[in-house]
Amino acid sequence: MSTEVPKFLMEDDSRNSIVKSLKNEWSLFWDSLAGEEDGVENEDKNEDPFESGRLSVLSLDDVKKLTRELSQGRKTLNQRLENLNKEIELNSAKLESLRLVGSSDEDTLSKINELTDQGQKLAHDLAELDSRLRFAREEEDRIRRELTPA
């Protein structure tokens, strides 16, 4: 009896590990936005300046830093969406192949649905992040105008 793992099973494992890796990256990203630095929690840094209305009391440097972090987060989300899209395309091709040979396609179809749901959540998170980024940039512009003599 062969102990070799079939290739199609290894591909699913690698896709699952990619998804787990992406989930871990997403968790780390949100933790960094929450202000957890070096594992030390600071009450002021953990407070979301958007929800608390404190964005207007931040200094120009703080708003610039926040804008950079949000921009980096946006870049990361876009990369994750691209990876998710590639994974959906691979599974769609696999689904088509399975249907052509008459094999069971339920697992692949459920995987595509799961990936689509993740993509929708990422798209929602990206829209929210874009809104925050737009607001932070507007606030940065406002602070610059206030600091510039008329």
Tokens encoding 65? 């830093």
DSSP 1: -
Categorize the per-residue pLDDT at 2 as very low, low, confident or very high, splitting at 50, 70 and 90: very low
Partners of 40 in the β-ladder: 37
Quick one: how far is CA 108 from the chain centroid?
A: 23
Residue 7 buriedness (CB in 10 A; 0-12 / 13-18 / 19+): exposed
Report d(CA 70, CA 132) in Å as an integer: 8
Question: What are the pLDDT digits (tens) for 108-124?
Answer: 999 999 999 999 999 99
Instruction: Write down the pLDDT at residue 146.
Output: 85
Tokens encoding 11? 């591909």
Give the global pTM.
Answer: 0.59
Q: Is 1 a residue whose pLDDT tops 50?
A: no
Q: Is 65 a residue whose pLDDT tops 80?
A: yes
Query: Domains (ranges, CATH) in the chain?
Result: 59-150 (1.10.287)
